[in-house]
Amino acid sequence: MQIIPAIDLIGGKCVRLSQGDYSSKKEYHDDPLEMAKRFEGVGIQRLHLVDLDGAKAKKIVNAEVLERICAGTSLQVDFGGGIQADEEIEKAFSLGAKQVTGGSIAVKNPALFEAWIANYGSEKIILGADAKNKKIAVGGWEETTSVDLIPFIKDYVAKGISYVICTDVAKDGLLQGASVDLYKEILQEIPGVKLIASGGVSSVADLEGLEKIGVYGTIVGKAYYEGRVTLEELAAFV
């Protein structure tokens, strides 16, 4: 199982939100590059970088941070937040992102998202499938759609998607455990998908539970920043 630390950006600084609520913002570090180097230093290879300013602005805002991390580390960065147009995805890749995550765009403009899958290939495009009560949530999770989670993922896997990041919005940032049953159901329904679990991880035991059911990777954010898991414990999974 891949351990994928998350760095969420507001104003160029490392922050975390709870359940996507911007008013719950907590700052953890003012230099994202230094934070990224800590992860790299223990052998972690991937990074989930989210431009929360970009998600609101619907365009990349923290471009400089993306470029600094990609140039200053060997981490494979998957980048999301505000990528809603061809010029934005081209910009993300030109700044060094190895993969781009599309969430709202996959719901709001499926034709464009499908074109990205065709143009860039399944190794470069990650489907962001965020859900509340198994319904897809978009727009920084402020809007819950009527779209069912598992059929939504299944449809995009049929269209060429390999990687899927699934966040259970009800769990995110609360340190109350991951949605193991949900991920188990997805893996049973869609065998072969590279499922990346996100949200709720609070301990090494949570990580072990996710590894056991066979997720491809797990995103770790608040659990690390709040000291619930250490770098050394994360490194043990590498």
The closest of 188, 181, 203, 82 to 134, measured between CA atoms, is 181
Contact 153, 128 (CB under 8 A): no
Q: Could you please report the per-residue DSSP string of 19-30?
A: TTEEEEEEEEES
Q: List, by residue number, the catalytic residues.
A: 8, 130
Cα–Cα distance, 93 to 67 (Å, whole number) = 10
Report the C-alpha gap between 17 and 131 in whole angstroms.
Answer: 16
Residue matched to tokens 């495009």: 125
Helix 149-158 and helix 180-189, axial crossing angle in degrees, nearest 10? 40
Torsion sign, CA atoms 105, 193, 69, 198: positive
Q: Which residues contact 140 (CB under 8 A, 6 or more apart)?
A: 20, 22, 52, 55, 56
